[in-house]
């Protein structure tokens, strides 16, 4: 089974190279030609090389676009066939259909889930409150008596007003 997955991964890398290689080669070729022309004319401008490269790569994508899409579609179809036809037939990678009767959703955590509250009514009555394990932690989180936006004192007011 692992060999099939590695082969599919290798096929994905080859398709990635098949799609990207024409774009990279065209950009490199255009860069070489523009570099030679810049050396001959002694015009050393970085932005001159960018526009022909962009145009060349765009034309490669337009011309080979349907072929690229066909390659990707075939890879996706092979991947779905592998995922839904090959992998489920391999017993070592797939759980049995009745695996849920041998497992527990919460395991042993269910009784201890709300160990910080004696009963669940506290959470139901106070939905915005943070449940705490110890009462000391609850005391630490008391809101302050200050207003949300306190007014500046006299010295700060003078600095703000520029006096």
| 35 contacts 49 by C-beta, under 8 angstroms | yes
Q: What's the confidence (pLDDT) of residue 132?
A: 55
Q: What's the confidence (pLDDT) of residue 121?
A: 67
Instruction: Say if pTM beats, i.e. exceeds, 0.75.
Output: no
- Tens-binned pLDDT, residue by residue, of the chain (163 aa): 678 888 889 999 999 999 999 999 999 999 999 989 888 888 877 778 888 999 999 999 999 999 999 999 999 998 888 888 777 666 555 566 666 666 655 554 444 444 555 556 666 676 666 655 555 655 555 555 655 666 667 777 777 777 6
DSSP state of 6: H
Residue in 10, 11, 15 with CA at minimum distance from that of residue 68: 15
- Residue 45: strand, helix, or coil: coil
Give the other-Cβ count within 10 Å of 111's Cβ.
8
CA 152, CA 139: separation in Å to the nearest integer?
A: 29
Q: What's the confidence (pLDDT) of residue 145?
A: 61
Q: What's the confidence (pLDDT) of residue 23?
A: 94
């Amino acid at each position: 089974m692992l060999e099939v997955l590695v082969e599919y991964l290798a096929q994905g890398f080859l398709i990635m190279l098949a799609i990207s290689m024409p774009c990279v080669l065209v950009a490199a070729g255009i860069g070489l030609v523009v570099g030679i022309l810049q050396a001959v004319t002694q015009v050393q401008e970085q932005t001159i090389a960018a526009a022909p490269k962009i145009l060349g790569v765009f034309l490669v994508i337009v011309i080979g676009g349907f072929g690229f899409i066909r390659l990707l579609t075939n890879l996706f179809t092979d991947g779905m066939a592998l995922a839904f036809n090959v992998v489920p037939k391999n017993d070592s990678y797939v759980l049995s259909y009745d695996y849920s009767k041998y497992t527990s959703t919460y395991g042993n955590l269910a009784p201890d889930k709300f160990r910080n509250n004696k009963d669940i009514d506290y959470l139901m009555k106070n939905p915005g409150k943070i449940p705490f394990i110890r009462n000391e932690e609850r005391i630490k989180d008391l809101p302050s008596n200050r207003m949300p936006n306190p007014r500046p004192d006299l010295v700060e007011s003078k600095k703000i007003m520029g006096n």
